[in-house]
Structure 1
Amino acid sequence: MLKAENSLGIIFFPAFDWAISPTHPEREERLLYTQDQLREEGLFDIEGIREYKPEVASSVDIERVHFCFPEAEAVATRSHCISAGGAIKAAQLVMEGERDRAFALVRPPGHHAMKTVQGSRGFCAINIEAIMCEYIRENYGPKRIAIVDTDCHHGDGTQDVYWHDPDTLFISLHQDGRTLYPGTGFPKESGGPKALGRTVNIPLPPGTSDAGFMMVMENAVMPILDDFKPDLIINSAGQDNHFTDPITNMNFSAQGYAALNSMLKPDIAVLEGGYAIQGALPYVNLGISLAMAGVDYSHVREPGFNPETLRESDEIMDYIATICEGVKDIYFNPPAESVEGVISGGWSVRHRNIFYDTEGFTESQTESLLLCDNCRGLLKVETQREGGPMGFGLEIPAAACDKCRNQGYSLLEEAQVKSRYRYIQLINRKDKDYLRYGF
């Protein structure tokens, strides 16, 4: 009988009652084939691997991370809450020592959900990894966390949530944004003024295969992680880099995904994208699970896998090597001129228009960070969905100094007397105080 080197918890939630449409790539069949494959392959017969049921994330869990307008219940369905609860269950298993590692095989996904949420973007409504990370910090104390996003699409939502957080390292390996949604994720996007270098974007050319991904892991990702020294490593495990995926253009394989996880050694993996429902996901998820458990995965093969025909050219490998050196330099020597926005009255301010592609509307947003010498500073957001009312969000970080905390409550009081805001939300991580006002 096989025995796992690392005990592993698997959390399943296929979300039977949630789909964008019956034929949309993001539908419940994404995990049903995987569920059958793992059982047929005898994954749960391996000593040390066990299946668990998800928790259900509460509104407080969501609003600990997001400014939700008009409220969490308006943007997240029950399925979204259970998907986030699956990630929370994975965190509980690891943080309480019941399992060495955990893999949340859940949907809907979440890595395109930004700090402010007024609807769905890229099939995502709430950011399930971020909700899990902040649940960990709220319940198990401050942690340095590294999130390595291996989805083919740039994790623009996770980047946005942690743009100003020096204690969270976000690394995204993705198909070049010049060729794929959401059109972002370039190396110059390296973090806010108090967290410069903590965002690491590695855009890869279409056609990148196992060889290119492993070069990035060896020459960029692992050296950066070794320097950052996280308490926890999270794999945002999107699987649409696979060579059969219908909406992307990469050549990664199940063996490649398994080898990546074997090298990365994530404490927790959370499923994101991946839309080759029969030809890829069952094999990729099996390979990742075996790699996380420390069990041999060399027998895992999906239909049509031929590494010689998938391998990229020497020219592409040279290009990837150049990218690796460039992103390492940005991490170790982040250029101050890459900071977005302008400085005004002691605040770093950036104005943005954010398109919600799933629902077809634009949000206009002004984000301001107080540049404090003693802490990472207050975060203030003023936002308006086109044709909708104004919203105001204020975040006081967990390690805020007393001056910033007090100024935060002063700004909150000012916002309440201004008739321009219909919705007001406070995220006070220092005092675990989460408030919402509607007028």
Structure 2
Amino acid sequence: MPHEESTHAGRLGVVFFPAFDWAISATHPEREERLLYTCDQLHEEGLFDIPGITEYRPNFTEQADLARAHFCLPNVAAVSTDSHLASAGAAVTAARLVLEKKADKAFALARPPGHHAMRVVHGNRGFCNINNEAVMVEYVRDHWPHPEGRPLRIAIVDTDVHHGDGSQDIFWNDPHTLFISLHQDGRTLYPGSGFPGECGGPGALGRTINIPLPPETADEGYLYAVKNAVLPILAEFKPDLVINSAGQDNHFSDPLANMRLSAQGYAALNRALNPDIAVLEGGYAIRGALPYVNMGICLALAGLPFEDIREPDWRPESVRQRPETSRCIAGICDKALRMYRRPPVRPTEGQEEDGWWTRRRHIFYDTDMLRESQHEGWRLCADCSGLGRIETSSERVARSLCILIPRHACPRCREEGAALAEKGHSSARYAHVLMIDHNKKEA
């Protein structure tokens, strides 16, 4: 439910980590200055002088925590740094603040970002190595099982301008995680995915919802999509925890995209969505947008007025939306609701082969200039969402086998997963054999 206006802050924890020692290059959009201006703004405006709003530093995650969410090849250390452990740790710290009732809401204001990092990681794509939200979700499920013993239902709403293809990939066949992505239409922007037909795997049809918005969507369009598609879907899914992947590169001044969202639009979106936890993703208008957007998000999460937030370059025409854009968005939202309520009987990607649902994919790591080939399969099971099996290779790593045993897997899928891993270890076919068993606490 949306917050009511208040002059008193709710308890908000802001977990800050600018990653001083990590950058793709000194002049790359994803560098430490992304958050330094924001840090100055929040302190200068006295955000942390407001009772109830507290700044925190992250606890580092362990490499084993990363290995609960990813198959890292050849190993975790090869594809991550201490900054990735801290950034994922910021997301985990934010979750702990909320779940331990030290805060009502929490915002992980940290970098590097993560929502383009997929289940298998060979390197960096879309500025991302490690999916911070995925690490957090697995940590939450390991440490805070539902008191009634049922699966914890988690919703991730990704509002970054780029489709959250990594998060979609990780939760593609997870029926207990709802992933909704609002993004600029993939026909016009990286990574070229995120269309309505991408609706989930064979064990989780309708649990992936994509809302591709046309270029030049403004505050009006984003708020329409949240109120007329996202909120009705959340009301029907009834999540125990709502996470916002809070990318900010849909700002009207961002150099990497073509949207028209303002700082006030971000704050209003956050007020309407009312997430438990927000996690920073993209956003590359370092001076003209991020300090103001982050201030607006913090005020919205704390339940405080944000109407005085205004970035220096704001003009009415900056956030003007054409009528034809509004009509297009209304149709897209109607389609998203239908996809959730009446998903197709089988995934739109892949095919059935010998009792498995399989798909072959070629994944390009645009930052590291790597090409990965993948043959992914999910065992079709009447008793659970199914066992996952991925054969993967790249220029960096020879053919490897990855086995995923999901939470609440049936005994047969668990047994078959263990047998596949044992067979892989005894074969000379694979350079590496990795297994994630989410029924066990250790990676």
TM-score w.r.t. length of structure 2: 0.96
Q: Report the secondary structure of 1:422's partner residue.
A: coil
1:116 aligns with 2:120: yes
The answer for the alignment partner of 1:245 in structure 2 is: 254
Report the residue type matching 1:221 in the other structure.
V
The answer for the alignment partner of 2:39 in structure 1 is: 35
Conserved in 2, the CA contact under 8 Å of 1:11 and 1:103?
Answer: yes
Conserved in 1, the CA contact under 8 Å of 2:350 and 2:359?
Answer: yes
2:369 is matched with which residue: 353, 360, 372? 360
Report the residue type matching 2:127 in the other structure.
F
Count of aligned pairs between the two proteins:
433
**In the aligned structure 1, how far is the partner of 2:172 from the partner of 2:366?**
22
**Equivalent runs, 1:234-383 vs 2, <5 Å:** 234-383=243-392
1:149 is matched with which residue: 158, 170, 187? 158
Deviation at 1:4, TM superposition (A): 4.1
- Report the structure, 1 or 2, having the larger strand content: 1
Deviation at 1:338, TM superposition (A): 4.1
TM-score w.r.t. length of structure 1: 0.97
1:96 is matched with which residue: 95, 100, 106? 100
Cα deviation, 1:112-137, whole Å, max 9, x if unaligned, reads 00000000000000100110011000
Conserved in 2, the CA contact under 8 Å of 1:395 and 1:426?
Answer: yes
The answer for the alignment partner of 1:437 in structure 2 is: none
Conserved in 2, the CA contact under 8 Å of 1:379 and 1:396?
Answer: yes
Q: Report the secondary structure of 2:368's partner residue.
A: coil
Cα deviation, 1:355-407, whole Å, max 9, x if unaligned, reads 00001111000111011111111101110013631111111111011111111
Q: Report the secondary structure of 2:255's partner residue.
A: coil
1:126 is matched with which residue: 124, 130, 138? 130
Deviation at 1:307, TM superposition (A): 3.1
Cα deviation, 1:46-68, whole Å, max 9, x if unaligned, reads 11000011011111110101011
Conserved in 1, the CA contact under 8 Å of 2:122 and 2:397?
Answer: no
Moved more, 381-390 or 103-112: 381-390
1:62 aligns with 2:45: no
The answer for the alignment partner of 1:50 in structure 2 is: 54
**In the aligned structure 1, how far is the partner of 2:385 from the partner of 2:441?**
17
The answer for the alignment partner of 1:139 in structure 2 is: 143
**In the aligned structure 1, how far is the partner of 2:396 from the partner of 2:77?**
21
Deviation at 1:276, TM superposition (A): 0.3
The answer for the alignment partner of 2:30 in structure 1 is: 26
Deviation at 1:284, TM superposition (A): 0.2
Deviation at 1:337, TM superposition (A): 4.8
The answer for the alignment partner of 1:417 in structure 2 is: 426
Moved more, 381-390 or 234-243: 381-390
Structure 1: gaps of 5 or more residues: 435-439
**In the aligned structure 1, how far is the partner of 2:60 from the partner of 2:296?**
27
Cα deviation, 1:3-61, whole Å, max 9, x if unaligned, reads 64420000110001111111110000000000000011110011100001101111111
Cα deviation, 1:215-261, whole Å, max 9, x if unaligned, reads 10111011001100000000000000000001111000000000001
Deviation at 1:336, TM superposition (A): 2.4
**In the aligned structure 2, how far is the partner of 1:55 from the partner of 1:416?**
34
Aligned-CA RMSD value: 1.1
Conserved in 1, the CA contact under 8 Å of 2:9 and 2:53?
Answer: no
Q: Report the secondary structure of 2:10's partner residue.
A: strand
Report the residue type matching 2:66 in the other structure.
I
Conserved in 2, the CA contact under 8 Å of 1:382 and 1:393?
Answer: yes
Structure 2: gaps of 5 or more residues: 1-5, 146-150
Moved more, 183-192 or 142-151: 142-151
Q: Report the secondary structure of 1:269's partner residue.
A: strand
